[in-house]
Structures are given as C-alpha cells and as structure tokens.
Structure 1
Amino acid sequence: MTSASNQDIHHTAARAALSVPGVAALQPGLADRLAAAASRAKQAVGAAPLPAEAGIRTEHTPEGGWHVEVRCVVHEDHRVLDVARQVREHVQTAVTACLAQCGTPAPVTVLVTVTRTV
C-alpha cells in the first residue's frame, strides 16, 4: 500500500467538511487569498479560481500524526456550534479512514474555525 500524501489528506478533509449540512463553503486562508490576488491577471485570462479545498490546511506532525485545520462558512439558519462539531467529526473520521486505507494509520487532530455565516 502507498502512504497518504498531504494532497490526499487535504482533498479528503475538504470533501468531508463540505458534506456537512449547514456548511456553505470553505473560507480560504490568508496565504490562499494573497496567491489569488497575485494571480488576478491569470484569472482575467481564464485561469481556474481558488479550489474548494482552499479553506483546509493540513500538516504532518513530528509525532507521526496529522493536524487538519478547517475554515468554513456556515448557513445562518444552522447552529454554528453544532455544525462545527459535525465538521470536526466528519473530517476526523474521513481522514482516519483515508490513512487506514493507505496502510498508514496515524492520530488525527482537527481544528474547526467558523469564519462567518451567510
């Protein structure tokens, strides 16, 4: 089996977070927004917009586990706390399953930040 890459974890976490009822979108972090601002000329000529995964940050920890940060926007008709808890649970479960499927089980911690409601 192959080990899970940072990109695999990133995509898995994004899909899991976006599947939670009440999540409107993922919010890009500062680095993603700066990259988008720097490439406005490219976007003007048809370059792809920021990917949906822009609100996810993944990091392999020195202890051998994974740390996943999720920044999301929540629909205002949902309780923010409930959505954040569900996002944390869904992402942790999905990333843990991804790692197990790749044959590299490791502890996963998830931090969820709700940046706004719409």
Structure 2
Amino acid sequence: MTVSHRAGIQHVAAEAASGVPGVAALQPALADRLALAASRAHQALTAEAALHRDAAGIRCDHDPDDGWRVEVRCILHADRRVVDVARQVRDDVRNAVSGYLAQQGTADHVTVLVTVTRTL
C-alpha cells in the first residue's frame, strides 16, 4: 500500500471517530506528539503538519492475510457511557474505512481497536 493510501485511511478514520457524539478529541501517541513538536517550528504552515494533526490518534497497519487493523485512541466526554461511545466509534470507523477501501477498489477486512485514554 502506498503512503497516500495509508494517509487516506487515517484521515477517513479520524473524521469518523471525531464525529461520534461523546468524543472530545483524538489522543496522539507519544511519538506523534514528539514528532509534531519537533517539526512545528519548521512546518507549522505546511499541509503536512495539518495532515499529521488530523491523523493524530489513528494508527493503521495492513497485513495481506488479515486486512487492515486501525487503532483509534480517543478522549471522551465524561457525561457519556464510555462503552457506548467506544462501540459507536468502532462501528463508525469500520464503516467509513470499509467505504473508503471500496471506493479504492479494495475489499480488505477492517478490524478496529478503540482505546479510551481518558474522559473530560
């Protein structure tokens, strides 16, 4: 898979997860935060920096035998049941990524793992 294909999946997954009621934000991994901090001085106004922020909290890997594995790390609002919001995130991300892959002419299986890092 190309880097742009992976970036497209991350973008679609981030939009789907962010659109679920109860999701406050996506939680970038430590490596993402360090990379963004290091590059912010040099690339603050570039499209690459904006794309990196959009995909923060989303990680995806492709295995030819198992399809796509998408990991979503999110922060939720405390006034919602965590299990309900996490299930909705999982379903919405799976549907969005499957739809994206169908548009690309690929019918790979999509597995979504949702991790709630904290509530606000």
Question: Same fold by TM (over 0.5)?
Answer: yes
Q: CA RMSD in A?
A: 1.9
Structure 1 length as normaliser, TM-score? 0.86
User: Counterpart of 2:39?
Assistant: 39
> Which structure is larger by alpha-carbon Rg, 1 or 2?
1
The 3-state SS of whatever aligns with 2:56 is helix
2:74/2:115 contact within 8 Å kept: yes
- Of 89, 94, 97, the residue aligned with 2:96 is 94
User: Counterpart of 1:113?
Assistant: 115
Query: Cα distance, 1:64 vs. partner?
Result: 5.4
Structure 1: tracts of 5 or more residues without a match: none
User: Counterpart of 1:73?
Assistant: 75
Paired residues, number: 113
Structure 2 length as normaliser, TM-score? 0.85
2:11/2:54 contact within 8 Å kept: no
Query: Cα distance, 1:35 vs. partner?
Result: 0.9
1: distance between equivalents of 2:76 and 2:63? 28
- Whose helix fraction is larger, Structure 1's or Structure 2's? 2
Structure 2: tracts of 5 or more residues without a match: none
The one-letter amino acid of 1:72's match is: C
2:13/2:97 contact within 8 Å kept: yes
Query: Cα distance, 1:62 vs. partner?
Result: 3.5
1: distance between equivalents of 2:55 and 2:26? 7
Is 2:6 aligned against 1:9? no
